[in-house]
Structure 1
Amino acid sequence: MTAARPFRSRLFEVLSGDPSGEPAWVRRLGEGSGPGFFPVGSAAWEVHRDATTLVAGPRALLMQALHPGPMAGVHEFSRYREDPIGRLQGTIRWITTVTYGTTEQARAASRMVQHLHERVRGSYEGADGARVAYAADDADLASWVHIAFMDSFLRAYQRYGRTPIPGGPDAYVAQWAVAGELMGVDDPPRDVRQLERRIDAFRASGVLRVDDRVREALEVIRRPPLPALIRPAYPAIVAGSVATLPDWARGMLGLRRPGPASEAATRLVLRGSANLLGEAPTARQGRLRNEAGGREASDRD
């Protein structure tokens, strides 16, 4: 482990902003009292603590970029080109707080994100050349961002996860619908069939497309400014992300499906990352809080 310590520290730094993997916001997850939305060992808990999230993250960004509304917001209001790692860390903070924090911590984190989204509004050019107004809290945009995220984390785990999802894929979709509701999504999907129908409806609407903004985002996703030590492993992560995309999305983005050798490299990198990182500090803090709460309840009885 000593030889791998620098790699471990760099990876934690990319994901959390701290070489130890435990910045102040992570430590606070263990300081809250009360239950979270998801119990230890639940579908959302297990999917989000797995190394397959490394693949799911870029895949979600690729899917979300296909909608010109979210893409316009990201292009005009975020620093994803100058600081894609910082944007990644902000997203990870929200996901992990909702998954492993208390219900109040999850609500507070979601309110903070929604507050940031209040200024994200403008217009983009529609397929017919007319200007289309958008706002980050539009029901249509929020729904696409949510289902693209949900579909990506589910498909990445189904492809590369090493154990079954507790309760099955429908359990994950039903549980993560809570996160959609926290972000103002109206009636998020509750099972895989509903999820697939929502994606099909967006495709049928004709709103999804690829333009110069999407192509620029694709290049940033494929070649982010990673530390030199972990950069050689990243192509395998991208390959896994592309492999789990539906054929129609790969076709729109002009990407080829990776072959068996590329996917073997993805599995190797994910397995190595899981062994290296161990239990995520965020999951550990949530588990300890839950265990402490159980002991307190037992003592009262």
Structure 2
Amino acid sequence: GNGLTQVRSYSRWYYGHRHDALEAIGRVRKIHTRIIGTLPDGTPYRADDPALLAWVHLTETISFLDAWCRFAEPRMSQIDRDAYVHDMARIGRLLGADPVPDTEFEARRQMQRSRVMLTCDMRTDTVRDLLLDQPLSLPGGRATQRLLMQAAIDLLPFWARRLHGIPSSGPGMPAVSAATLGMARTIRWAFRN
């Protein structure tokens, strides 16, 4: 089928039936209500803050879409890309995020507007290092992990890599993308067979 069918079938597989999805969303919302704190500058925060949830939802939606388009369906139509963002918007709203974009254009515009609020400090450095150094059990071991991590880094917008001090693959980016795409195709083939 077309890209929309593939993305939607992935979403159905991941989230299960609507009832299961709503139960999971309810559990996540309950957890969010218990996460509160104060930033080092004294600013209070809550994990159920609609604007904070909107940023998390936005970055997940765009990241998943970019990864899908790069490694699964490079020619995904704009109609299907917008349909994916629209489908994800329903989940974001159920989680309490606000504002939530309904098209890819709106999502990218919202991301640009939100950049001014971003900071990088010791806490974000710690999370970055944890994510990049997390041992994974993958066929191929550490080499596969490095390849996948570099592919994920290369998906980040330039400004995000610069903010976190993470270099892209540079001239090696096409090779990293090709190797990751080949790995993704092999995994999809293995699951189909």
Q: Give the TM-score normalised by structure 2.
A: 0.84
Distance 1:259 1:279 in 2: 31
Q: Measured at CA, do residues 168 and 228 of structure 1 come closer, stay the same or move farther in structure 2, by a change above 3 Å?
A: closer
Q: Measured at CA, do residues 266 and 220 of structure 1 come closer, stay the same or move farther in structure 2, by a change above 3 Å?
A: farther
Give the match for residue 179 of structure 1.
Answer: 91
1:208-229 CA-partner distances (Å, limit 9, x unpaired) = 0110111111111111122375
Q: Give the TM-score normalised by structure 1.
A: 0.56
Letter in 1 for 2:39: Y
Shift of 1:143: 0.5
Q: Measured at CA, do residues 142 and 280 of structure 1 come closer, stay the same or move farther in structure 2, by a change above 3 Å?
A: farther
Distance 1:264 1:273 in 2: 14
Q: 1:214 is matched with which residue: 124, 132, 136?
A: 124
Shift of 1:237: 1.1
Contact 2:71–2:184 (CA under 8 A) maintained in structure 1: no
| SS of residue matched to 2:61 | helix
Contact 1:243–1:257 (CA under 8 A) maintained in structure 2: yes
Letter in 2 for 1:172: Y
Contact 2:47–2:53 (CA under 8 A) maintained in structure 1: yes
Q: Percent identity?
A: 26
Shift of 1:192: 1.2
Q: 1:267 is matched with which residue: 170, 178, 193?
A: 178
Q: Measured at CA, do residues 107 and 232 of structure 1 come closer, stay the same or move farther in structure 2, by a change above 3 Å?
A: same
Give the match for residue 45 of structure 1.
Answer: 9
Distance 2:168 2:65 in 1: 19
Cα root mean square deviation, aligned: 2.5
Q: Measured at CA, do residues 279 and 145 of structure 1 come closer, stay the same or move farther in structure 2, by a change above 3 Å?
A: farther
Distance 1:224 1:154 in 2: 23
Kindly indicate whether structure 1 or structure 2 has the higher relative contact order, using CA contacts under 8 Å at least 6 residues apart: 1
1:123-155 CA-partner distances (Å, limit 9, x unpaired) = 102xxxx41111111011100100010111111
Contact 2:50–2:99 (CA under 8 A) maintained in structure 1: no
Stretches of structure 1 that go unaligned for 5 or more consecutive residues are 1-39, 50-94, 282-301
Shift of 1:196: 1.4
More helix by percentage: 2
Q: Measured at CA, do residues 110 and 278 of structure 1 come closer, stay the same or move farther in structure 2, by a change above 3 Å?
A: farther
1:258 equivalent in alignment to 2:169:
yes
Of structures 1 and 2, the larger Rg is shown by: 1
Contact 2:72–2:181 (CA under 8 A) maintained in structure 1: no
Stretches of structure 2 that go unaligned for 5 or more consecutive residues are none
Q: Measured at CA, do residues 105 and 228 of structure 1 come closer, stay the same or move farther in structure 2, by a change above 3 Å?
A: closer
Distance 1:254 1:270 in 2: 25
1:115 equivalent in alignment to 2:30:
yes
Q: Measured at CA, do residues 158 and 173 of structure 1 come closer, stay the same or move farther in structure 2, by a change above 3 Å?
A: same
For 1:20-39, what aligned pairs fall within 5 Å after superposition?
none
Q: Measured at CA, do residues 169 and 239 of structure 1 come closer, stay the same or move farther in structure 2, by a change above 3 Å?
A: same
| SS of residue matched to 1:131 | coil
